[in-house]
Amino acid sequence: DAKTTQPPSMDCAEGRAANLPCNHSTISGNEYVYWYRQIHSQGPQYIIHGLKNNETNEMASLIITEDRKSSTLILPHATLRDTAVYYCIVRVSKNQAGTALIFGKGTTLSVSS
């Protein structure tokens, strides 16, 4: 099972910042936090990831608490096209050869005008 907890749904007004929280209290020191989103059952789209520092790219910002037990994805100016299911994922080590992402239920973000 995914080791993250997210609210099942959130609403946001168009043009406002959307702040999506995620708890990952059992995260270990070498595990990254990844954020993906999925629109209309299309293939998930990578948004951003981080280890312990805050990260920003052209899509979003990722704020990770100092103890790394939680994080927040920020969409600075939400648009209607940002309506999607957002997944917060902690990479799970499968074996020495590498890791695999384990998805949870995610947060359904609804952006309205």
Residues that bind another protein (CB under 8 A): 2, 32, 34, 36, 41-46, 49, 87, 91, 94-95, 97-106
If the CB atoms of residues 95 and 113 are measured against another protein, the closer one turns out to be 95
Of 5 and 14, CB closest to another protein: 5
Least Å from the CB of residue 55 to another protein = 12
Q: Of 14 and 110, which CB lies nearer to another protein in the complex structure?
A: 110
Give min distance, CB of 41 to another protein, in A: 6
CB of residue 90 to another protein, shortest distance in Å: 13
Measured CA to CA, the distance from residue 63 to residue 76 in angstroms comes to: 13
Could you tell me how many residues make up the chain? 113
Contacts of 6 (CB under 8 A, 6+ apart): 20, 21, 22, 23, 86, 87, 88, 104, 105, 106, 107
What pairing do the DSSP bridges indicate for beta strands 45-50 and 33-38? antiparallel
